[in-house]
Chains A and B, each alone.
Chain A
Amino acid sequence: MSAEVHTHDHDHEHQDHPTPNFWNTYVFCTDHKMISKQFLITGMIMGVVGVMMSMLFRLQLAWPEKKFAILEVLLGKWAPEGQMDPNMYMALVTIHGTIMVFFVLTAGLSGTFSNLLIPFQIGARDMASGFLNMLSYWFFFLSSVLMISSLFVEAGPASGGWTVYPPLSALPEAMPGSGAGMTLWLLSMTFFIVSSLIGALNYIVTVINLRAKGLSMKRLPLTIWAFLVTAILGVLSFPVLLSAALLLMFDRMLGTSFYLSDIMIAGEALHYQGGSPILFEHLFWFLGHPEVYIILLPALGITSEVIATNSRKPIFGYTAMVTSILAIAFLSFIVWGHHMFVTGMSPFLGSVFTFTTLLIAIPSAVKAFNYLTTLWKGNLQFTPAMLFSIGLVSTFVSGGLTGIILGDSALDINVHDTYFVVAHFHIVMGLSAIFGMFAGVYHWFPRMYGRMMNKKMGYVHFWITFISAYGVFFPMHFLGLAGLPRRYFTNAEFPLFDTLQDINVIVSLFAILGGIAQLIFLFNFFYSIFRGPRSVQNPWKSNTLEWTAPVEHIHGNWPGDLPEVHRWAYDYSKPGLENDFMPQTEPMQKGEVETGH
């Protein structure tokens, strides 16, 4: 399709938009393309903060006795003479977790790519509600500002772990971070949930109502399937976290006892009676586990698209891929208890959760094998996006497998909350999702900015990131097998762990290397926005609808009529056709049989 400009106007409803100025173009914008950029840039800023925090606490873990001047520069009174305070260590791991899980991999990933791709790939002019979409971003922005501002309160930010289990998070007497820092954390998360909910509702409504003519659910690209299911997961699970957070606020501010009972702290018996901290854990993980898939599914969706395009082959087993997304989503709601095997829950309940948890391995295996078979007999084009997608398949397999150990209640007993868990979830969820996000940025950068990112820098970025990612998290399995608990400020108090210090040093070196390598990405990204070579309309020779719209962003995405869809998104290298791709807008040719149904 060429980008010829049709002469007739958009639909009438799109004619009366206000004259563009700075404020409604770059700030309070209702256009999904701009909102997606806003989510991406905010997510990247939060990502820089989150990754830098991890580098700081890795310094502490590898060299606990050394003093680092940089720590005092960055942390001030929390690192007198360059020696980190234990409370600051706790705060860093807490905020690192919160930022990476929610701000980067939930809002940054879903917010960016759902916003960019849903209207483009379903052939819509914009989201169902541009205004709600704008609100969704600004609630996210507000929540980001609150979270960052919590770093500057006198007693320090929230530091009870990103899971904020009470009573630790409820009582300022238990640790200083549970005072004003925790209040800001809860406020920030409340706005975050609001943002996430209205965003998700908008995505669902848009996908269901605004698909282009001919785009049946069976022809939907897997990206859109993944975003749709992710949004449904969010709508069903985030409200539960909101209620958990509200009850925690009540306990903290109004003296209720939802989560607290029989507590003596700082020499004083408190009045709380009859509550249970375990209730909070149930509510938290009822969101917390689906949250893992809220993070992972969009990355898998992006990967499906990138791998198919760059293998020049249809995604293998489209129906099985959709089914496995749905199966994973359903199961993700009935497995939360596997985070709580050692809380004293009924052993029978533990068995049920073991059963449901290990079932998730089946659809996950189907996805992994389908990716492998998509590569099989392909004509692989190694763009940076493709490399990151292959990296995702590798980490998804490596990390997913250890889930079979941790999901088994009997085995969880001895590795629960050790570094084995840290290794597992960082590889399967952190790395996979961040690789999916990088793949998405490299792949759709031309769609976002009309320019290309530099390929060579992309290659260097991928290789350093991929190697250091495994270098950081693979050795952690062995720390866990040695019985080293997570969230220890130092393990120097236990001679038993002395010989593990080598591993800690290796991990930290890779963490620093990997962290610094992200500068290459940041440089490439911002340089390419302004100076990158201009992109052609369909740089990856892809089938989906977003590449039929003109390179420059226009209000309403397509000049003239909306595209009409005649086939599924994966007619790559179809026999009998001249090109190795066939956009969804091309009608069936004479004698051609429709595939993918």
Chain B
Amino acid sequence: MNGLLIAIVLFLAAISVAQIVRIFELSSALNKEDSNAVSPRDNDRQGKLLLIFGILFELSFFAMVYAWMPDTLPQPSSLHGVEYDALWDISMGTIIIVFLLVQPILFYFSYKYRGVEGTKASFIEHNNKLEMIWTVVPALVLAVLIIYGMTTWSNTMNPKNDQQPIVIEVYAQQFKWTARYAGDDNTLAYANIHLIQGTNTLGVDTLDKNYADDKIAAEIHLPVGRPVLFKFRSQDVIHSAYMPHFRAQMNCVPGVPTQFQFTPTITTTDIRKDPEVIAQVDRINALRLSQGKDPYEYDYLILCNKICGAAHYNMQMPIVVESVEQYNQWLKEQKTVAETL
């Protein structure tokens, strides 16, 4: 019944708009003007509106940066993350400069050259010198960005190790993460979903000589300053292990092993003392308090970042970065696979 009433109201509204438009058209026909041809007044008005929009658009850009940048990710907590952020700043700086130059030109030209009755546009069909300039200059800028980007990419994907990295398997399934530590031998035993049985939930091969000391955990602990090699595996669909604080991400693909390595540089305790993080957490907690929710403590996270099903939005696991001693202590407390099976 409500739906019918709404439909009737909408229909009547449409009819009344139609009638109003009709009145406008008839009255302008009486005034002998073509209501749909662009008049000099339209050009003047729209040109000015475009200029005003251009100015407000630029101002709102700065307003958004001011208001929202404090809620974005804090400083990187990994070795390569520092290099990542440096490249980010250069690239972002470049595109922001271009953005801040080109948009005003567009809206200023729209205003400046708005149609005026009786004037004629200049006949300018091409200028090879100008074309050359805006081919070569972007090409040079991009060459720098490409070379810088490739270098960073190469350093990130092929890190040089002066220490043996700790090997950790990150195992993804709908909708949870599990970690498997390689244990004392730092070698992960072979595992396959076909071997999953009973308490052997990751399908670890018990015939593999390296299996006994592997350790399975529900959260990831990492020692600060040690390179960590993550090996990713998925049980069902594609997931993506996204660790934004470390500027790290890799897909977990069923049947196709993947890996990513980084060195955490800031412990969880230390990142909680970062002034930007303190300010952000204060804002979050003020909001949570007003909503009657529990206070929040800052944590590193691994999030799923590839659509994986209904609970994709809540597939997460905390990451704790701590001192080597704390890490060793924690690892010692974890049960080995041999003990759990």
Contact = CB atoms under 8 A, between A and B. Distances in A.
Contacts of A86: 310-311, 313
Interface in B154-180: 154, 156-158, 174
A354 interface: yes
Nearest to B133: A369
Given A262-B193, A394-B103, A483-B244, A496 B284 contact: yes
Contacts of B249: 342, 413-414, 416
Contacts of A453: 36
A375 B113 contact: yes
Interface in A473-512: 474-475, 478, 481-483, 485, 487-491, 493-496, 498-500, 503
Interface in B249-306: 249-251, 253-259, 280, 283-284, 287-288, 293, 296, 298-299, 301, 303-306
B255 A90 contact: no
Given A409-B153, A410-B152, A575-B123, A174 B309 contact: yes
A411 B88 contact: yes
A377 interface: yes
Candidate in B34, B120, B139, B301 with the most chain A CB atoms within 10 angstroms: B120
A410 B84 contact: yes
A38 B66 CA distance: 48
Interface in B133-150: 134-135, 138-139, 142, 145-146, 149-150
Contacts, number: 372
Nearest to B54: A394
A161 B307 contact: yes
A372 B102 contact: yes
A452 interface: yes
B42 A382 contact: yes
A554 interface: no
Interface in B185-224: 192-194, 196, 203
Contacts of A255: none
B134 A344 contact: no
A485 B35 CA distance: 48
Nearest to A175: B309
Given A382-B38, A401-B99, A316 B124 contact: yes
A355 to B, nearest CB: 6
Interface stretch (B68-76, B321-329, B330-338): B68-76
A167 interface: yes
Contacts of B34: 533
Interface residues of B, number: 126
Contact of B122 (A319, A401, A573): A573
Interface string A354-392: 110011011001101110110111111111000100100
Interface stretch (A126-134, A204-212, A244-252, A463-471): A463-471
A361 B115 contact: no
Candidate in A73, A358, A387, A574 with the most chain B CB atoms within 10 angstroms: A358
A466 B53 contact: yes
Contacts of A90: 307, 309-310, 312
A312 B38 CA distance: 13
Contact of B145 (A314, A366, A404): A404
B142 A361 contact: yes
A417 B305 CA distance: 6
Contacts of B311: 86
Nearest to A404: B95
Contact of A478 (B38, B69, B121, B251): B69
B238 A167 contact: yes
A358 B142 contact: yes
B82 interface: no
B114 to A, nearest CB: 5
Contacts of B258: 343-344
B296 A498 contact: yes
B248 A365 contact: no
Given A474-B64, A478-B69, A489-B313, A347 B193 contact: no
B18 interface: yes
Interface in A150-196: 160-161, 165, 167-168, 171, 174-175
Contact of A378 (B113, B158, B293, B299): B113
A86 B311 CA distance: 7
B307 A316 contact: no
Contact of A344 (B68, B87, B98, B256): B256
A456 interface: yes
A490 B158 CA distance: 36
A369 B192 CA distance: 55
Nearest to A317: B126
A495 B284 contact: yes
Given A351-B150, A375-B106, A319 B120 contact: no
A381 B149 contact: no
A99 B57 CA distance: 30
B105 interface: yes
Contacts of A459: 42, 46
A496 B264 CA distance: 20
B251 A343 contact: yes
A174 B236 CA distance: 8
B115 A381 contact: yes
A365 B139 CA distance: 10
A24 interface: no
A260 interface: yes
A88 B138 CA distance: 44
B146 A355 contact: yes
A351 to B, nearest CB: 5
Given A160-B307, A487-B307, A523-B17, A260 B109 contact: no
Given A174-B174, A265-B236, A390-B50, A495 B288 contact: yes
Contacts of B237: 167-168, 171, 174, 265
A376 B307 contact: no
B247 interface: yes
A263 B193 CA distance: 7
A87 interface: yes
A527 interface: yes
A381 to B, nearest CB: 5
Interface string A392-409: 011001100110110011
A478 B71 CA distance: 8
A397 B105 CA distance: 12
B123 A574 contact: yes
A220 B90 CA distance: 41
Contact of A377 (B113, B115, B192): B113
A380 B113 contact: yes
Nearest to B119: A379
A320 interface: yes
A365 B256 contact: no
Contacts of B236: 167, 171, 174, 263-265
Nearest to B102: A397
Nearest to A340: B251
B306 A570 contact: no
B127 interface: yes
Contacts of B287: 498-499
B254 A263 contact: yes
B275 to A, nearest CB: 16
Given A375-B106, A487-B313, 9 more contacts: A73-B3, A369-B130, A375-B113, A382-B43, A382-B114, A408-B91, A417-B242, A485-B304, A573-B123
8 contacts: A86-B310, A260-B255, A263-B255, A342-B251, A347-B157, A376-B113, A414-B244, A417-B242
Interface of A: 73, 86-87, 90, 160-161, 165, 167-168, 171, 174-175, 260-265, 269, 274-278, 311-314, 316-320, 342-344, 347, 350-351, 354-355, 358-359, 361-362, 365-366, 368-370, 372-373, 375-383, 387, 390, 393-394, 397-398, 401-402, 404-405, 408-411, 413-414, 416-418, 452-457, 459, 463, 466-467, 470, 474-475, 478, 481-483, 485, 487-491, 493-496, 498-500, 503, 523, 527, 531-533, 539, 570, 572-575, 580, 595-596
Query: 6 closest Cβ contacts across the A-B interface?
Result: A261-B255, A344-B258, A483-B244, A382-B46, A495-B296, A347-B157
